[in-house]
Chain A
């Protein structure tokens, strides 16, 4: 059975800020940009939840709730808050390969739905088709250095973190090298090591992560935030989680990372995409978005989605382009241009 999963599209009705949205995705890198509160992270988490539902033990409605954490774990709180809105629906389409027909996973709920008990359809077929595909969500905040006993504390309710944080810790702790492409993985690891200047090690007995430079090891707590983030990526590449056919979600890769590294991160993402990893990322960073555009080759599949609101409207719209510089509703380039005008004292 093929390991691949390619998310093709999502249709949303009355889900958080998305009143009526239909998005089609590329098989490579899908970049979400937009001002705060335009739903970028909501969308990342929702698609992630759908990908995770490829496992028998994961309920789609429950996963949505555990990544979003609405009050009282009630999925109905995710219905768009607008007079007259009482129900929401979600439909995600995916394939193993682009030449195959799509499979669908859907969820619908209304304001009478208890907890996370959305009506889910297509789960059995979804599991059967995609159960070998791995999915990773890297949240904006670095979490490995806080991972000590975190999963246990969360499971008994002593702390509250959404599943994106708990899942990434569990993924980082996997110590099995899976996958079929050792040469590809080796090249990727070497590229990441140029930034981390070392290899990451998880000490099971201490439940702590370390960065190894030769024979010396350094606690994750003492390492720069950006290096910790790249160290996580190194772990995921090493343990085979980021192989061809997997889906990677990365919320604000630029957070806590020196802008000088944006070029390397763009190259890393392009390499992962070239290795068959479908990527969804949200960014506010001009350098990262621009470098993805600059470093791409003709064979790379890159899609840019700009999420925005029209003046006076509450619904979020989106604009698609295969080039960052051709987006009309581009909060990042608009700010970049405003800096230039402000520097000159120009008011237009």
Chain B
């Protein structure tokens, strides 16, 4: 069965539900979710396991004036996204290690895979409204915050906008 996921103004998919886990809306997340942050969905895209978070916008370079409020907002934006990636990878690993019971929404291929050794882990942030030239900054910020996790999980950070997400084949 194929599915389209609507997030932050982007139509992600069409995804084969056997390879998909809508972690944010999942029963597991609703059961234990208090205090846990998750990405929108996890998808097995060929040899890439994508943890996808979508945002409509990113910090705006148009206003260069520094302020405490602005610093706090910036910190909140990126720490929130980083936490979503960290918690989502942890939750995924806990499901694969059999620590969770309510796994009926876990895509069949995700459930049946007994090894992800040859699968690349990608932490994907899609910023719908960002210009391409604005993407390296958020990528650098997330790579810095997720360094420890990238080392542990051998994961890569990918930051896309609407156009690049479509070119990558994960949105319409």
Report A's interface with B, CB cutoff 8 A: 325-326, 328, 333-334, 336-337, 339-341, 343-348
Which residues of chain A are within 8 angstroms of B138 by Cβ–Cβ distance?
340
Residues A340 and B140 in contact in the complex (CB < 8 Å), given A346-B59, A346-B74, A348-B75: yes
Q: Smallest CB–CB gap between A328 and chain B, Å? A: 6
B115 interface residue (CB < 8 Å to A): no
Bound CA–CA A343/B74 (angstroms) = 13
> In the complex, are the beta carbons of B140 and A337 less than 8 A apart?
yes
> In the complex, are the beta carbons of B74 and A328 less than 8 A apart?
no
Q: Smallest CB–CB gap between A326 and chain B, Å? A: 5
> In the complex, are the beta carbons of B136 and A333 less than 8 A apart?
no
Interface stretch of the complex, out of B16-24, B42-50, B64-72? B64-72
Bound CA–CA A277/B147 (angstroms) = 31
| A328 (CB) vs chain B CBs: closest residue | B147
List 13 interface pairs A-B (beta carbons < 8 Å), by A numbering.
A325-B143, A325-B156, A333-B144, A336-B140, A339-B137, A343-B64, A343-B137, A344-B59, A344-B64, A345-B63, A346-B59, A348-B71, A348-B74
Known A344-B59, A346-B66; further 5 A-B contacts with Cβ < 8 A: A325-B143, A336-B136, A339-B137, A345-B70, A348-B75
B29-63 vs A, CB cutoff 8 Å, 1 = contact: the mask equals 00000000000000000000000000000011101
Residues A344 and B144 in contact in the complex (CB < 8 Å), given A326-B150, A326-B151: no
> In the complex, are the beta carbons of B143 and A344 less than 8 A apart?
no
> In the complex, are the beta carbons of A325 and B70 less than 8 A apart?
no
For the A-B complex, the count of residue pairs with Cβ-Cβ distances under 8 Å equals 50
Which residues of chain A are within 8 angstroms of B74 by Cβ–Cβ distance?
341, 344, 346, 348
B128-146 vs A, CB cutoff 8 Å, 1 = contact: the mask equals 0000000011101101100
Chain B interface residue count, CB cutoff 8 Å, equals 22
Q: Smallest CB–CB gap between A327 and chain B, Å? A: 9
> In the complex, are the beta carbons of B140 and A345 less than 8 A apart?
no
| A327 (CB) vs chain B CBs: closest residue | B147
Bound CA–CA A42/B65 (angstroms) = 42
Which residues of chain B are within 8 angstroms of A344 by Cβ–Cβ distance?
59-61, 64, 70, 74, 137
Q: Which 9 A-B pairs have the closest CB atoms?
A: A340-B137, A345-B64, A345-B66, A337-B140, A343-B61, A346-B74, A344-B59, A344-B61, A336-B140
Bound CA–CA A255/B21 (angstroms) = 48
> In the complex, are the beta carbons of B144 and A337 less than 8 A apart?
yes
Which residues of chain A are within 8 angstroms of B144 by Cβ–Cβ distance?
333-334, 337
Which residues of chain B are within 8 angstroms of A326 by Cβ–Cβ distance?
147, 150-151
Bound CA–CA A43/B146 (angstroms) = 31
Determine which of B61, B63, B150 lies in contact with A325 in the assembled complex, contact meaning CB atoms within 8 Å.
B150
Bound CA–CA A347/B61 (angstroms) = 13
> In the complex, are the beta carbons of A333 and B141 less than 8 A apart?
no
Which residues of chain A are within 8 angstroms of B70 by Cβ–Cβ distance?
344-346
> In the complex, are the beta carbons of A345 and B143 less than 8 A apart?
no
> In the complex, are the beta carbons of A333 and B143 less than 8 A apart?
yes
Bound CA–CA A174/B66 (angstroms) = 59
Which residues of chain A are within 8 angstroms of B66 by Cβ–Cβ distance?
345-347
Q: Smallest CB–CB gap between B64 and chain A, Å? A: 4
Which residues of chain B are within 8 angstroms of A347 by Cβ–Cβ distance?
66, 71
Q: Smallest CB–CB gap between B47 and chain A, Å? A: 13
Bound CA–CA A341/B137 (angstroms) = 8
Bound CA–CA A341/B143 (angstroms) = 14
